[in-house]
Amino acid sequence: DVKVTQSSRYLVKRTGEKVFLECVQDMDHENMFWYRQDPGLGLRLIYFSYDVKMKEKGDIPEGYSVSREKKERFSLILESASTNQTSMYLCASSLEGGAGNEKLFFGSGTQLSVL
Amino acid sequence: SQQGEEDPQALSIQEGENATMNCSYKTSINNLQWYRQNSGRGLVHLILIRSNEREKHSGRLRVTLDTSKKSSSLLITASRAADTASYFCATLDNYGQNFVFGPGTRLSVLP
C-alpha cells in the first residue's frame, strides 16, 4: 500500500516564524500536492508538482512556497507564518496520469496553529 | 474554483440504516471520485466512477452518476458506527489538471 507520511501531526508556531511541512511518499509517484482544509471550505489546493524540481501554483499559493528536490519528498514552506494560516494541511500523491483517472493518496495531515 | 458540492452538509442516522449523500458538479467530467475522512485524519479513496458508467458497487457502497444532471450519489447500506466520517466527492478542475473537492458531508451513525 502507498504510504504518504507527513512529518508532524500537530504543530504550534509563532507569527512571523518560518515553517516547514514535510511530506514523503514511498511509491514512486510522479505527482504530489499540498492542500489546506478549513471548516466549511473543503480542501483547497496550495501547490502541486508533477515532477522533481517542478512546481505549479494552485488556487491559494499566496504566503506559501514549495520545494521538490527529490521525487519522494515535497515540502511546503510558510515564509512568515500568520494567524490566518492556522489550518489542517494535507499532502497527497498520485501516479503519473494527468487524465484524472489516478486516485489521490493522502497523508494523515498536519494541524498547524499559528499564535 | 469549486467544482463539486455535497449535499446534505450533515447527516445523522441510526446504525443499520442506509445513508445517501449527493454531489453536484458544474462542468463535464472524465470521472468522479468519492473520498472518506475520519475526524482529524487524511482522506481515503473509496470509489471512482467513470463518465460512461451509471452505477458502481464496492462492498456496502453504491455510487451512481447522472451526467445529464451533473450529479452523483453515494449510498452506504447497513451503516455502522465506524462509518462516521466526512465524505467528499472530487472532480477535475476546469483546466482538467487537478482535483477539486467539495466541502463534504458529515455523516454521524449513532449506535
Please name which of B44, B107, B55 lies closest in space to residue B79, comparing C-alpha atoms: B107
Mean pLDDT of B70-85: 96
Give the mean model confidence (pLDDT) for residues B31-45: 93
* Cα distance between residue A53 and residue A38, in whole Å: 28
Mean pLDDT of chain A: 92
Name residues 68-107 of chain B within 8 A of A (Cβ).
88, 90-92, 96-104
Q: Which CATH superfamily is domain B5-110 in?
A: Immunoglobulins (2.60.40.10)
| Tens digit of each residue's pLDDT (9 = 90 or more) over A7-45 | 899 999 999 999 999 999 998 999 999 999 998 888 999
- Summarised one tens digit per residue, pLDDT across range A89-99 is 999 998 866 55
Chain B CB contacts of A108 below 8 Å: 41-42
Mean pLDDT of the B80-98 span: 86
Confidence of residue B85 (pLDDT cuts 50, 70, 90): very high
Interchain proximity A100–B40, CB inside 8 Å? no
pLDDT on residue B29: 84
Residue B1: pLDDT band by 50, 70, 90 thresholds? very low
* Percent with pLDDT over 90 in chain B: 68
A69 has pLDDT over 80: yes
**CA–CA separation, A11 and A21 (whole Å):** 9
Residue A112: per-residue pLDDT? 97
Confidence of residue B95 (pLDDT cuts 50, 70, 90): low
The better pLDDT of the pair B37, A97 is held by B37
| CB A92 within 8 Å of CB A106 | yes
Distance CA A106, CA A49 (A): 15
Give the residue-averaged pLDDT of B72-88: 96
Q: Where are the domains of chain B?
A: 5-110
Residue B88: closest CA among chain A residues belongs to which residue? A42
**Among A8, A11, A5, which Cα is nearest to A32's?**
A5
Rounded CA-CA distance B26/B2 in Å is: 9
Of A25, A18, A22, A19, residue with least CA distance to A8: A22
- Across A81-90, average pLDDT: 97
Is residue A70 predicted with pLDDT exceeding 90? yes
Given a cut of 50, whether residue B2 has pLDDT beyond it is no
Contact A108 B42 (CB under 8 A): yes
Q: What is the pLDDT of residue B94?
A: 65
Nearest to A100 among B31, B35, B45 (CB): B31
| Contact criterion met (CB < 8 Å) for B103 and A4 | no
Q: What pLDDT score does A98 carry?
A: 55
User: Where does A4-97 sit in CATH, by number?
Assistant: 2.60.40.10
pLDDT of residue A41: 82
pLDDT of residue B23: 93
In chain A, domain spans: 4-97
- Dihedral sign (CA A17, A35, A32, A91): positive
- Give the minimum alpha-carbon distance from B80 to chain A in angstroms, rounded to a whole number: 23
* pLDDT(B4) > 80: no
